[in-house]
Structure 1
Amino acid sequence: MSHARKEYVDFEKLAPDVFAAVRSLGQFAAKAGLDKQLIELVKLRASQINGCAFCVQYHILLGESLGVPVDKLNLVVVWREAPQFSARERAALAWTEALTTLPNGVSDDVYAQATAEFSEVELTYLTSAVASINVWNRFGAAYRWTPPARKTTAADAAAS
């Protein structure tokens, strides 16, 4: 069983300037008008690829709070085989995978798919979101941050 080497809250205390810079980078895409649900799918997919348990759980919970359908959250790991994803989401997820696994590069097909669905400005901000989550993943995976707990509501308790 793995154990946390440091926790997420420790990162903010140890390097508040780095924490603020990475957080800020991650907020630009939403501020630019990209759909927040789409951004969460992208961040979830990159986190799955990078093996960051904290970030996977964090973005599942955040996605749920933003109304991302549960089937999309469950199936983002196999998005190519799942019919729930729109062409725009598929382009964003392909872009995310290409940028997250850079040794493979960004193919002309993935670039064409992305530019068919996103304007130049949108694609730049989408890239900033992918860059940001990849930075967070490096910290979360390296320090083995403990995944956040699901907050139980009264409705959850009554349902169980």
Structure 2
Amino acid sequence: MSSRGSEGPEDVDAAFAEIVAGLERDFGGRWPEPAELDEERPSRPAARDAGEPTGMPVPEPPADDDDHYVPPEPPPFPRLRAGAVVALVLFAIGALLLVAPGAVGIAPRVATPLALISLSCGIGWLVLRMRTGPPPDSGPDDGAQL
């Protein structure tokens, strides 16, 4: 049972047949070959070879190599605070306990939970130290800040 809603065309088959009849009328009952379609289109100028002159002036490269941009020196890395150093030490201890627990002299069965605790504490320490407000040197005219 086929029910058609009032939203679409009432007779899709009739509309399609009308479109096909219009195409057959335009092309005499056969589909055009690609060459025939190209004949109907206006011709475009052929692409030129790279060596063929185009008639347009070619810009000359700059003669002086001393006129190039030299970026300024990057700013130095910020100094690590004590909290960041503690988090990095916790990460290093956790990684060492996971990768080579025998180097410390602890059994892997004990080292794995200790490593996971150390890594979790390092992540938690960094998350707790994140700033939640604007920087201390910001003013009321800094615009929107995310």
Task: Specify the TM-score bucket, using the shorter chain as the normaliser.
Answer: under 0.3
Higher relative contact order (CA 8 A, sep 6+): 1
Tell me which protein shows more helix as a share of its residues: 1
With the length of structure 2 as denominator, give the TM-score of the two structures: 0.26
